[in-house]
């Protein structure tokens, strides 16, 4: 069976103006242990000739590409067909949680149906978005020095004002904690259920990006 007919993709990347979807190629002769990975083969590619900078997220069935000038496009992982478009520019990568896609645009958080792209709810961030991260099935959004949390239904859960700017892109969630990088080179750990700060630590330098897991 040709890789382009595969139902899902093992890896997705953006390169040279293309979205590339690849499948893992394994050695079927490995029977007693897990198949040995032999490399990747191209499943499909799609040109994304947008005028702005792009970022990407992947759900189980869609590749989501955000453009700082045009908006967010969702492509089916199975056959690369365009599933839907959200015509509002975003400088942050979309966030997938449950059956929703969260997008920060125009100082707001937009919750979209992952399958159709239809809007479910919109909430004000209080300023230009600095970071966006999934919180279980809900979402965390940062603007200025304030981190806000909403449930999957858009109900406000809590907000915390750090009284200093949250650094762009420096919010990540793992194990019930949200890790927040602040402009004064402080790393803070926030309880995602309550919004309480568990601990803070000063760093020698501020990371440009980080991930938790």
Distance CA 43, CA 24 (A): 10
Look up residue 34 and give its DSSP letter: P
What is the token pair recorded at 27? Answer: 């050695």
User: Which tokens in the block code for residue 46?
Assistant: 């799609």
The two structure tokens encoding residue 149: 């949390």
| pLDDT tens-place values along the chain, 213 residues long | 232 333 345 555 554 455 555 555 555 555 555 555 556 677 778 787 678 899 999 998 999 999 999 999 999 988 889 999 999 999 999 999 999 999 999 999 999 999 999 999 999 999 999 999 999 889 999 999 999 999 999 999 999 999 999 999 999 999 899 999 999 999 999 999 999 999 999 999 877 777 766
Q: Which of 93, 162, 98, 150 is nearest to 125 (CA)?
A: 150
Residue 125 has which token pair? Answer: 């961030």
């Amino acid at each position: 069976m040709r890789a382009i007919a595969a139902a899902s993709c093992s890896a997705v990347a953006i390169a040279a103006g293309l979205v590339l979807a690849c499948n893992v190629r394994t050695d079927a002769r490995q029977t007693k242990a897990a198949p040995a990975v032999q490399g990747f083969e191209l499943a499909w590619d799609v040109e994304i000739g947008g005028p702005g900078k792009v970022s990407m997220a992947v759900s189980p069935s869609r590749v989501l590409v955000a453009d700082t000038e045009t908006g967010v496009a969702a492509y089916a992982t199975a056959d690369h067909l365009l599933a839907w478009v959200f015509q509002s520019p975003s400088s942050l990568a979309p966030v997938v949680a449950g059956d929703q896609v969260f997008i920060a645009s125009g100082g707001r958080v937009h919750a979209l149906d992952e399958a159709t792209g239809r809007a479910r709810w919109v909430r004000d961030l209080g300023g230009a978005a600095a970071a966006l991260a999934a919180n279980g099935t809900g979402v965390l959004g940062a603007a200025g020095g304030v981190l806000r949390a909403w449930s999957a239904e858009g109900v406000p859960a809590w907000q915390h004002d750090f009284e200093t700017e949250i650094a762009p892109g420096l919010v990540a969630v793992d194990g019930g904690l949200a890790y927040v990088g602040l402009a004064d080179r402080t790393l803070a750990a926030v309880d995602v259920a309550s919004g309480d700060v568990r601990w803070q630590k000063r760093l020698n330098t501020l990371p440009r990006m980080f991930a938790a897991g």
